[in-house]
């Protein structure tokens, strides 16, 4: 970015400077949005994995015949978080 600013100082056309600054900000914005999308995708994947683990645990409770109060409570909780 410093090199970019140095080039702006040597440029004699102010409208070109404005265009260059706009393009630089647009590039940075695109990079920021891509990084945000990458993190959001990772979080979505983590949520999917946790939901799958909850379903597996619910099935395990059902098949092992765990305490019915615990089963019902856990299954109702899973339904309330929409997995």
| pLDDT surpassing 70 at residue 7 | no
Q: What is the DSSP string of 28-72?
A: HHHHHHHHHHHHHHHHHHHHHHHHHHHHHHHHHHHHHT--HHHHH
Over residues 22-35, mean pLDDT: 95
Distance CA 78, CA 5 (A): 54
Over residues 9-32, mean pLDDT: 85
Task: Determine the pLDDT at residue 15.
Answer: 81
Distance CA 80, CA 58 (A): 14
């Amino acid at each position: 970015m410093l090199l970019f600013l140095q080039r702006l100082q040597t440029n004699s056309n102010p409208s070109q400077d404005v265009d260059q600054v706009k393009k630089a900000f647009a590039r940075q914005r695109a990079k920021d949005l891509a990084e945000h999308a990458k993190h959001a995708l990772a979080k979505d994947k983590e949520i999917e994995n946790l939901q799958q683990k909850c379903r597996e645990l619910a099935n395990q409770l059902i098949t092992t015949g765990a305490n019915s109060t615990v089963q019902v409570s856990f299954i109702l909780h899973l339904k309330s978080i929409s997995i």
